[in-house]
């Protein structure tokens, strides 16, 4: 990534312009950096941002200038069947929220510049569709609030909204990065009796304890046997939060009868996953997936913010370091090396960040 100036055109009637306060380094952007997923170029990456509304288009009602907001990639149309049945995070008409061809919101020397997820949060300002932002409580600190837009929404939502973990359930979480740690605290909030954290990195396992893990297992071969042993027959829910076929299979293999493996990690574009057929049939287990917390973000983000303000959701320990935009490439090297949970870019003097 290089840091360059671009021109912003808008806001048009349904758009908002945000002064960015903080922006989290999520692994999803990294999939594009290394080419695991294709994207038209040039592109401004970043999708986990908080900031202050600077300008709104004439049709925008739910936020106004000066509001503190968090961005989310789950832009919705509000009119398709998915939106109308309460699943706007699966909106069928998301592309319609993108600017028309030839009308890019961002440009450089007259040439269009793309926005990852129609957002582009690694920047001082974002020009985005109004259905991509949620208002947050006034007293929410913006340098942790940004994490509500992806890591927290995705992780906590996977446990509570998708799996619907119940008090007493046993849970395993494979991959304890920024997203996985939030699956762990989502399961804790839901009352899980055992939460088994699995990661290759011992430091991540220590951190997992802070978020509510009751048992720690070093990743790699033998994980399935260890989890089955610890739980006397397997877990009710196993979450894969890395994006690799072998760990999806591990998640599936550590289920007890009737359990569900939840795929949260983003796989390499075009790759396959496989599961053994006989246990799938005989043990009535499921393999399901969860996108962006499986919940309308404008409902969930303010709720999770409130839980943070009440001391029930830990966002502070997710932030391993606050960095300047100029250190973004180093931040991603550290993410790839597994040495940080989340690095957060902060822009001085915006809101309370």
- Answer yes or no whether residue 27 interacts with ligand CND by CB under 6 A: yes
Q: Is 28 a known active-site residue? A: yes
**106-121 residues labelled b (16+ CB within 10 A) or e (exposed):** beeeeebbbbbbbbbb
Q: Which is nearer to ligand CND, 141 or 243 (CB)?
A: 243
Distance CA 304, CA 311 (A): 11
- Answer yes or no whether residue 183 interacts with Zn ion by CB under 5 A: no
- Residues numbered 147 to 176 that lie near ligand CND (CB under 6 A) are 150, 154, 174-176
Pick the catalytic residue from 23, 27, 31, 176. 31
Q: Are strands 49-56 and 15-24 parallel, antiparallel or unpaired?
A: antiparallel
**Cα three-residue angle 334-330-301, rounded to 5 degrees:** 70
Q: Is 146 a known active-site residue? A: no
Among 200, 230, 307, 323, binds ligand CND (CB under 6 A): 200
Q: Is 62 a known active-site residue? A: no
Pick the catalytic residue from 23, 26, 50, 320. 26
Quick one: DSSP state of residue 105?
S
User: Which region among 27-35, 58-66, 239-247, 257-265 touches Zn ion (by CB under 5 A)?
Assistant: 27-35
Q: Are strands 215-218 and 133-135 parallel, antiparallel or unpaired?
A: unpaired
**Cα three-residue angle 169-174-179, rounded to 5 degrees:** 95
Q: Is 27 a known active-site residue? A: no
Among 145, 150, 156, 171, binds Zn ion (CB under 5 A): 150
**Alpha-carbon distance values, 306 to 136, 139, 148, 286, 315 (Å):** 9, 10, 11, 32, 12
- Answer yes or no whether residue 290 interacts with Zn ion by CB under 5 A: no
CB within 8 A of 76, min separation 6: which ones? 83, 88, 89, 91, 94, 97, 131, 296
Q: Which is nearer to ligand CND, 20 or 26 (CB)?
A: 26
Phi-psi region at 138: left, alpha or beta (left = phi > 0; alpha = psi -120 to 50): alpha
Residue from 132, 134, 133, 129 nearest 14 by CA: 129
Pick the catalytic residue from 72, 77, 83, 150. 150
User: Which region among 24-32, 99-107, 224-232, 275-283 touches ligand CND (by CB under 6 A)?
Assistant: 24-32
> Is the Cβ–Cβ distance between 166 and 185 less than 8 Å?
no
Q: Which residue is nearest to ligand CND (CB)?
A: 177
- Answer yes or no whether residue 18 interacts with Zn ion by CB under 5 A: no
- Answer yes or no whether residue 117 interacts with ligand CND by CB under 6 A: no
Coil/strand/helix, residue 237: strand
- Residues numbered 61 to 100 that lie near ligand CND (CB under 6 A) are none
- Residues numbered 201 to 240 that lie near ligand CND (CB under 6 A) are 201, 204, 219
Q: Is 31 a known active-site residue? A: yes
- Residues numbered 237 to 296 that lie near ligand CND (CB under 6 A) are 241-244, 247, 264-266, 290-292
Residue numbers at the binding site for Zn ion (CB under 5 A) = 26, 28, 150
């Amino acid at each position: 990534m290089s840091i360059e100036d671009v021109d912003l055109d808008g806001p048009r009637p349904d758009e908002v312009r945000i002064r960015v306060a903080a922006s989290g380094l999520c692994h999803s952007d990294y999939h594009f950096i290394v080419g695991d997923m294709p994207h038209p170029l040039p592109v401004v990456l970043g999708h986990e941002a908080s900031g202050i509304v600077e300008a709104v288009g004439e049709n925008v009602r739910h936020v106004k200038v000066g509001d503190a907001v968090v961005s989310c990639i789950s832009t919705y149309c509000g009119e398709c069947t998915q939106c109308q049945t309460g699943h706007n995070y699966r909106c069928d008409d998301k592309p319609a929220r993108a600017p028309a061809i030839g009308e890019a919101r961002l440009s450089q020397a007259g040439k269009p510049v793309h926005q990852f997820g129609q957002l582009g949060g690694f920047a001082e300002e974002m020009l985005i569709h109004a259905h991509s932002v949620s208002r947050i409580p006034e007293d929410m600190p913006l340098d942790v609030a940004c994490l509500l837009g992806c890591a927290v929404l995705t992780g906590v939502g996977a446990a509570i909204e998708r799996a619907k973990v119940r008090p007493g359930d046993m849970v395993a979480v494979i991959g304890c990065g920024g997203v996985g740690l939030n699956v762990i605290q989502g399961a804790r909030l839901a009352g899980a009796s055992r939460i088994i954290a699995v990661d290759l990195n011992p430091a991540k396992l220590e951190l997992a304890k802070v978020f509510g893990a009751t048992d720690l297992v070093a990743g790699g071969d033998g994980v399935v046997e260890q989890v089955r042993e610890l739980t006397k027959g397997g877990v009710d829910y196993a979450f894969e939060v890395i994006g690799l076929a072998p760990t999806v299979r591990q998640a599936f293999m550590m289920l007890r009868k009737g359990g569900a493996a939840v795929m949260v990690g983003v796989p390499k574009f075009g790759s396959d996953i496989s599961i053994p057929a006989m246990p799938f049939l005989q043990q009535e287990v499921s393999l399901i997936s969860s996108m962006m917390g499986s919940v309308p973000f404008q409902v969930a983000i303010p709720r999770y913010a409130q839980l943070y303000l009440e001391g029930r959701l830990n966002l502070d320990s997710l932030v391993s370091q606050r960095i300047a935009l100029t250190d973004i490439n180093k931040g991603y090297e550290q993410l790839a090396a597994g040495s940080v949970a989340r690095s957060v870019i902060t822009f001085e003097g915006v809101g309370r960040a």
